[in-house]
Amino acid sequence: MLTIVWDVDDVLNDLMRTWFAEAWKPAHPQCALCYSDISENPPDRVLGIARSEYLVSLDTFRVSERARGMVPNSAILDWFQKFGGGCQHMALTARPLESTPHAAEWLFRHFGAYIRGFGVAPARLAAGLPAYPLDKADFLRWFGTTDILVDDTEENLRQAAKLGIRGVLYPQPWNRSSQSVQETLETLAKFVEAN
C-alpha cells in the first residue's frame, strides 16, 4: 500500500489565499495585488515588505480563529473519498512549532478519517530547542516509508526526489505547475490505481 505524505498549508487548506484576503488586504487597503500576483513564497518581496513583517502577520493569522475556520480543500476531500482508502496518508508541515497544535487540530478535524499521522519540520526554532528535523527532506529521510509527497514547493519535491520519493506539485501561483488542480489529482489517482 502506498504511503502519501501531504503538505498542509496551501495544499490541504488555502492558508496563503485566506491570510491574504482576510488579514493582509484589510490591514493594507492600499495593496492593489491579487492572490494570483503572489509569484513567490514567501511573498515579502512581491508585497514590498521586510520578511519579518510578513512572518509576523502570517504567524499571527496561523493561530487565529479565522485560520481555525478555514475550509478544507474540497477537491482534495473529494479525492480522499474516491481514492483515499487505497493508501496510507500522513501530513507534513513546515510551520513554526508555536502554531503546530492549531494545524494538527484543524487537520484531524477535517482529514482525520484518512490522514493518521502528522509530522513537523519546523520553519523556525526558538533558541535552545533541538534542531531535528532540519527540513521536510530530513523528516522524510528519517520517516523512511514515503512513496509520494504532495507539496506546493518545488524545492521540497526536488529534495524528496533525491530520496527516491515521487513528487506531485500542487498548483499555486508561486510554482511552475502546468496542471490544474483537477489534472494534478487525476495524476495522483493514476499513481494509486497503478499500485
Which regions in the chain score pLDDT beneath 70?
none
Q: Enumerate the H helices of the chain as residue ranges.
A: 15-19, 25-27, 44-47, 51-62, 65-68, 74-83, 100-111, 136-143, 154-162, 181-194
Q: Strands 2-7 and 87-93, how do they pair?
A: parallel
Residue 41 in contact with residue 152, Cβ under 8 Å? yes
Q: How far apart are CA 84 and CA 81, in angstroms?
A: 6
What is the CATH superfamily name and number for domain 2-14+71-194? Answer: HAD superfamily/HAD-like (3.40.50.1000)
Q: How far apart are CA 149 and CA 159, in angstroms?
A: 10
Q: How far apart are CA 192 and CA 189, in angstroms?
A: 5
**pTM of the complete model:** 0.96
For position 133, what pLDDT does the model report?
83
For position 125, what pLDDT does the model report?
84
